[in-house]
């Protein structure tokens, strides 16, 4: 799911730079829904035996992880409403999309 959101985020960035906001809005909605799905992943019995690249911090701080996923989902919806009128598209994408990716990677993913 994370890989899917990353590839979708790259497409969001590409379409945004071209001004194709109808495609962008559809992709952002998809990403928002994917973040909601992630909240239900990583149950207690999945801490071992899966090669996910996830740190144990996800399970140790499950409430915080879930809150970040909920925030990321909400931010994608906010982004839908502001992207078309944004003066600085890159900065707006950074604020509402890439910052959530970075927050999750820095805390919940093994370095790669």
Does a structural domain hold residue 77?
yes
Q: Residue 1 has what pLDDT?
A: 84
pTM recorded for the entire structure: 0.90
Residues in the chain: 112
Does a structural domain hold residue 68?
yes
Structural domains in the chain (count): 1
Does a structural domain hold residue 49?
no
DSSP labels, 37-85: HHHT-S-GGGSSS----B-THHHHTHHHHHHHHHHHHHHHHHHHHHGGG
Does a structural domain hold residue 48?
no
Q: Determine the Cα–Cα distance for residues 85 and 63; give it in Å rounded to an integer.
A: 34
Does a structural domain hold residue 11?
yes
Owning domain of residue 96:
2-39+54-108
What are the pLDDT digits (tens) for 27-47? Answer: 999 999 999 999 998 888 887
């Amino acid at each position: 799911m994370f890989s899917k959101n990353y590839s979708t985020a790259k497409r969001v960035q590409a379409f945004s730079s071209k001004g194709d906001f109808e495609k962008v809005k559809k992709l952002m909605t998809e990403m928002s829904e994917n973040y909601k799905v992630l909240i239900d992943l990583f149950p207690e019995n999945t801490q071992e035996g899966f090669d996910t690249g996830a740190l144990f911090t996800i399970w140790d701080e499950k409430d915080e992880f879930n809150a970040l996923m909920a925030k990321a989902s909400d931010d994608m919806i906010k982004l839908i409403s502001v992207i078309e009128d944004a003066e600085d598209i890159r900065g707006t994408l950074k604020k509402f999309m890439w910052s959530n990716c970075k927050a999750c990677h820095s805390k919940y993913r093994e370095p790669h």
